[in-house]
Amino acid sequence: MDKKHIITIAGRPGGGKSTASKALAKQLGYEHFSSGDLFRAIGKEHGIDVTQTNKAAEHDQDIDRQVDERLEEIGHKGDQVVIDSRLAWHWIPQSFKVYLDLDLEVAAQRILANIDPERQKHEAISTDPVEYAEALQHRLDLEAARYQAKYSVDPYDHANYDLVVDTERNNPRQVVTQILEAYHAWLKHS
């Protein structure tokens, strides 16, 4: 399998996927794509939040299909792209696959500290980190069950990735540095 100049970044919410993927794209001069943004946009079109969109996707095959088709298209035609997505590693196996790991309570605290008030209102996000961590876990459980049923994959299994980075122990600059070093080493080894 030929390697592509594509980095796919997965992980739990709040783990720094957006921050890392945007910084990597900028440093490398690559394009940036976020399937989470696409997923939220699809939900917004239907007037529902991201959790409701996940629930709707269990019955509406079109939601996942739109995201999956976009990822497959990037995998076939794209080059020099950094993708923030839970399943891009699956759809683009020739990419450099990264997982950003973080405890959900820490993730909830990070998200709440930086959340846009409009998003918080629209998605009915609790201001209590413990409650929000529980809501995040529920969302992840829904996603994991759906991905297992549809694709027989577990996006939270570290074995799927070329690199796993703990974003609680590493600041954003360190995360990007680790990814860049591992990515360049990966490209050199055919």
Q: What are the pLDDT digits (tens) for 3-22?
A: 889 999 999 888 999 999 99
Q: Considering the domain boundaries, does residue 115 fall inside one?
A: no
Please determine, for residue 53, whether its predicted confidence score (pLDDT) is greater than 80.
no
DSSP 66-81: HHHHHHHHHHHH--SE
Q: Considering the domain boundaries, does residue 53 fall inside one?
A: yes
Q: What is the pLDDT of residue 150?
A: 86
Please determine, for residue 159, whether its predicted confidence score (pLDDT) is greater than 70.
yes
Number of independent structural domains in the chain: 1
> Helix H segments across the chain?
17-28, 35-45, 50-57, 61-77, 88-91, 104-114, 117-122, 129-151, 172-188
Residue type, 66: Q
Q: What is the pLDDT of residue 54?
A: 67
Q: Which residue has the higher pLDDT, 145 or 58?
A: 145
For residues 34 and 14, what is the distance between their CA atoms, to the nearest angstrom?
14
Beta carbons within 10 angstroms of residue 28's beta carbon: 17
Please determine, for residue 62, whether its predicted confidence score (pLDDT) is greater than 80.
no
Q: Considering the domain boundaries, does residue 138 fall inside one?
A: no
For residues 184 and 175, what is the distance between their CA atoms, to the nearest angstrom?
14
- Host domain of residue 39: 6-103+156-188
Please determine, for residue 51, whether its predicted confidence score (pLDDT) is greater than 70.
no
Q: Considering the domain boundaries, does residue 86 fall inside one?
A: yes
Residues 130-157 have a mean pLDDT of 89
Q: Which tens digit of pLDDT belongs to each residue from 85-115?
A: 988 999 999 999 999 999 999 998 988 888 8
Q: Considering the domain boundaries, does residue 112 fall inside one?
A: no
**In this structure, what token pair is assigned to residue 116?**
């846009």
pLDDT band at 81 (very low <50, low <70, confident <90, very high): very high
Q: Which tens digit of pLDDT belongs to each residue from 32-45?
A: 988 877 777 777 77
For residues 178 and 186, what is the distance between their CA atoms, to the nearest angstrom?
12
Please determine, for residue 190, whether its predicted confidence score (pLDDT) is greater than 70.
no
The candidate with the shortest Cα–Cα distance to 156, out of 15, 1, 5, is 15
Q: Considering the domain boundaries, does residue 117 fall inside one?
A: no
Q: Considering the domain boundaries, does residue 88 fall inside one?
A: yes
pLDDT band at 142 (very low <50, low <70, confident <90, very high): confident
CATH number for the domain that contains residue 173: 3.40.50.300
Q: What is the pLDDT of residue 188?
A: 92
Q: Considering the domain boundaries, does residue 42 fall inside one?
A: yes
